[in-house]
Amino acid sequence: MKDLLSVIRDEFGKFILEVREEDLPTVIIKRDGFLEFIDFLRKEGFNHLLDLCAVDYLNYKPEKKIERFEVVYHLYSIPKRELLRVKVPIAESDCWQYSLTSFWKAANWFERECFDMFGIRFKGHPDLRRLLMPEDWEGHPLRKDYPVELPEEKEWKAYRKFKTKAKGAQ
Amino acid sequence: MPERKLQYKEELFSTEDPFFTPFEIQMGPQHPSTHGVLKLRLVLEGERIVDCEPEIGFLHRGLEKLAESMSYTQVLPLTDRLDYISAMNNNTGYALAVERLLGIEPPPRGKFLRTMVCELARVASHLLWLATHALDIGAMTVFLYCFREREKILDFFEDICGARLTVSYPKIGGVRLDVEMGTLERIYDFLPEMEKRLEEYEGLLSENRIWLERTRGVGVISAEEAIAYGLTGPSLRGSGVEYDVRKHFPYDAYPDLDFEVPIGKNGDIYDRYLCRLKEMRQSLRIVKQCIEKMPSGPVCAENSPDLDMLISKRAPVAMAKGEIAFIGFPFERVNLVPFGELYSAVEGAKGELGFYIVSDGTGKPYRLHIRAPSFVHISALPKLAKGHFLADLVSIIGTLDIVMGECDR
């Protein structure tokens, strides 16, 4: 793993923001060099996309983050038994990321969920729609500025309609 | 409601072939064989499936959002509601992730107890899978037999912790309660009986002609495709890929135990069925070893966090009898836990169950992402289903062993 990280530093030096060794080796990379980097990792044997999710770092106190969002990838190499984390910072004003659906079919739903929950658009995704929330839901629930409990006037339209109907029946 | 975009429609329905007359039907969400609230939009040509699009989210409770407003300890009972068929595995997975974050090491007895109940839960989960899967294909007897044995395992859970389904028995730092010797003895006596029962199921199914015709060569997925679709657990191992979190990233008592990871070859429903049956045998073997090697001592680490996440022991405060002392505001305290991030996974009954935690130093998780195996497996459903008969779709849903609570979170 150490060799691989030094190779990554040499080859993708201009795109790499940081390489960390926490619980897992973590590479933080700019969006521009991301697709080539993933292509490189696939050739190195990282064949399993274990997890893909986003984090909203609004008001994150312990350290200063470069951008508001981060898309986090966990890649696993089954033959080498190595796990690697790749993080890509995404700005709020420029909220999109390259899709990995051409590399892994598993990325399809993960990215749809990300879009649903955070509003990050994935360029090159064949069918970017909401997945868990209803199609006419407003807002992206897992963003930090989205409240846990909505005020009554902002509740989902279909639910509000249902509630008034139920009240009328009484 | 806005009109849904139907992408497949144009390309499928605009064909020139006059004998090609596809039509669309909706299956679910209230369909007995979709194992919960899964909805499928199917395009059929006669009885053959041309296209299939799963729709999920009917059981979405916003678990990840909820967790952000609770302390680490309060989240634990929520994880019961993920894969409610094997809640022990979810609890262990979450507890393990938080332990790794806080640097807590459970005592050996706690570890062994956790491994034991996890494996019992795996057997219970696989029994429920076998029961419903066999019922879907038409074997009613197996359904009744499997539930009989599953009931016994749930009774053990009741003896151990008082609950049957939503157990919350493993906790951060070990397990909640110690187990009585009598219960361990009864579990030990149950193991050889269960082995015999497994032979009974295999006698009913493994060489049954109807079973073979319905399962062999149906829902085939090759090893490369299974990896590309992100499958884990028995669904991946049925295709011949040896990936098991218990072997690749050993946790709890698994490094001390001797067991094998069964793998299949063809990647069809029959191979996955054999895989899971062999896995049950291995689980029984693990439970047996756990009871034989069970160390004595405490079951929970001393620095296990309280409900309000005060990790260090409270300073004794002089107070009158019956008074309650409130010390500090735990949620506001910075550097309560180390900040940073962590990914930790366990082998759940369905596949790899991962927890990704981002901590900001307070007592609440800043972000908790749950990598649920069922979520990934359902996304592979169209690939498995295309080209098969509608009746086979039911067995394909069964073979993926999905639980909607985990998928929708």
> What is the C-alpha separation between B30 and B61, in angstroms, rounded?
18
**pLDDT at residue A139 in the model:** 85
Pairing of strands A48-56, A69-77: antiparallel
Cβ contact A135–B1 (<8 Å)? yes
For residue A44, what pLDDT is reported? 84
A53: which chain B residues are within 8 Å (Cβ-Cβ)? 356, 369, 371
Which two three-digit tokens encode residue A91?
């700005």
pLDDT digits (tens, 9 = 90+) for B145-184: 999 989 999 999 998 888 888 888 998 888 888 888 888 8
- Burial class (CB within 10 angstroms; exposed 0-12, middle 13-18, buried 19+) of B347: buried
Closest residue by Cα to residue A95 from A17, A18, A31: A31
Residue A110 DSSP SS3:
helix
Measured torsion, CA atoms of residues A133, A137, A141, A143, in degrees rounded to the nearest 10: 130
Strands A16-21 and B174-175: unpaired
Please give the pLDDT value at position B256: 87
Could you give the strand order of the β-sheet that contains B39-45, starting from the edge strand earlier in sequence? Answer: B23-27, B39-45, B48-55
On whether the CB atoms of residues A100 and A52 are closer than 8 A, the answer is yes
In Å, how far is A164's CA from the nearest CA of chain B? 17
Six-digit token pair at B326?
């409130």
Report the complex ipTM.
0.89
- Smallest Cβ–Cβ distance between B379 and the set A50, A53, A109 belongs to A109
Residue type, A101: T
Spatial distance between the Cα atoms of B381 and B378, rounded to a whole number of angstroms: 5
Name the β-bridge partners of A48: A76
**Interchain contact, B241 vs A60, CB within 8 Å:** no
Q: C-alpha dihedral over A104, A109, A114, A116, to 10 degrees?
A: 150
Using the 8-state DSSP alphabet, how is residue B179 labeled? P
Tens of pLDDT, residue by residue over A64-93, are: 778 888 899 999 988 888 888 999 998 888
CA distance B116 to chain A (A): 26
- For A92, B133, B271, the CA distances from B267, given in Å and listed in that order, are 43, 17, 6
SS3 assignment, position B336:
coil
Q: Which of A78, A83, A70, A77 is nearest to A34 (CA)?
A: A70
Q: What is d(CA B84, CA B167) in angstroms, rounded to the nearest whole number?
A: 9
8 A C-beta contact, residue B265 and residue B257: no
Per-domain residue ranges for chain B?
Answer: 63-303+335-408
Single pTM value for the model: 0.85
Distance CA B405, CA B83 (A): 6
Set of chain A residues whose Cβ sits within 8 Å of the Cβ of B54 = none
User: In this predicted model, what pLDDT tens digit does every residue of A124-169 receive, in sequence order?
Assistant: 888 888 888 888 888 888 888 888 888 877 888 888 888 888 887 7
Question: Going residue by residue through chain B (409 aa), what tens digit of pLDDT does each one get?
Answer: 344 444 445 555 555 666 677 778 888 787 767 777 888 888 888 888 888 888 888 888 888 888 888 888 888 888 988 888 888 999 999 999 988 888 888 999 999 999 999 999 999 999 999 998 888 888 888 888 999 989 999 999 998 888 888 888 998 888 888 888 888 899 999 999 999 989 988 888 888 888 888 888 888 888 888 899 989 988 888 888 888 888 888 888 888 888 889 988 888 889 899 999 999 999 999 999 989 988 888 888 877 776 665 443 344 444 445 544 444 444 444 446 777 888 999 988 888 999 999 888 777 888 899 999 999 999 888 888 888 888 888 888 888 888 888 888 8
Query: Is the omega angle on the peptide bond into residue B29 within 30 degrees of 0, that is, cis?
Result: yes
B340 contacts A106? CB cut-off 8 A = no
Cβ-Cβ contacts under 8 Å, B408 against chain A:
132
Q: What are phi and psi of B89, to 5 degrees?
A: -65, -40
Share of chain B above pLDDT 90, in %: 16
Helix axes B140-161, B108-137, angle to 10 degrees: 160
Please report the pLDDT score of residue A134 as a whole number.
86
Residues of A in contact with B332 (CB under 8 A): none
Is B360 within 8 Å of A60 when comparing Cβ atoms?
Answer: yes
Cβ–Cβ below 8 Å for A23 and B341: yes
Distance from CA of A152 to the nearest CA of B (A): 18
Shortest CB distance from A135 goes to which of B4, B66, B380? B4
* Minimal C-alpha gap between A104 and chain B (Å): 5
Contacts of residues B162-167 at CB distance under 8 Å and 24 or more positions apart, as own/partner, are B165/B80, B165/B84, B165/B85, B165/B87, B166/B77, B166/B80, B166/B81, B166/B84, B166/B87, B167/B80, B167/B87, B167/B88, B167/B91, B167/B117
Chain A interface residues (partner B, CB cutoff 8 A): 22-24, 47-51, 53, 55-56, 60-63, 72, 74, 78, 81, 83, 85, 104-106, 108-109, 113, 117, 127, 129, 131-136, 141-142, 146, 148, 158
Q: What is the model's pLDDT at position B46? A: 80
Structure tokens at B229: 């679709």
Are B227 and A47 inside 8 Å of each other by CB? yes
Query: Which pLDDT belongs to residue B11?
Result: 56
Residue of A nearest to B382 (CA): A105
Please say whether the beta carbons of A44 and A4 come within 8 A.
yes
Residues of chain B contacting residue A148, judged by C-beta atoms under 8 Å apart: 65-66, 68-69
The third-level CATH classification (topology) of the domain covering B63-303+335-408 is Cytochrome-c3 Hydrogenase; chain B (1.10.645)
Cα distance from A156 to chain B (closest Cα, Å)?
12
A148–B342 C-beta distance less than 8 A: no
Crossing angle for the helix pair B269-293 and B390-400, to the nearest 10 degrees: 20
| Interchain contact, A105 vs B4, CB within 8 Å | no
User: Measured between CA atoms, how close is B66 to chain A, in angstroms?
Assistant: 7
Token pair, residue B96, equals 């393990």
CA dihedral B227, B233, B234, B238 (to 10 degrees): 20
| pLDDT for residue B13 | 56
pLDDT for res B94: 92
CA B235, B240, B243, B247 torsion-angle sign = positive
**Yes or no, beta carbons of B57 and A74 under 8 Å apart:** no
Do A131 and B369 count as a contact with CB atoms less than 8 A apart? no
CA-based nearest residue to B53, from B380, B389, B323:
B380
Under 8 Å CB-to-CB from B12, ≥6 apart: which residues? B22, B43, B50, B51
Residue A81 to residue B361, Cβ atoms within 8 A: no
Asked if the Cβ–Cβ distance from A142 to B4 is below 8 Å, we say no
Q: How many other C-beta atoms can be found within 10 angstroms of the C-beta atom of residue B60?
A: 18
Residues of chain B positioned with their CB less than 8 A from the CB of A81: 248
| Residues in A touching B367 (Cβ below 8 Å) | 55-56, 142
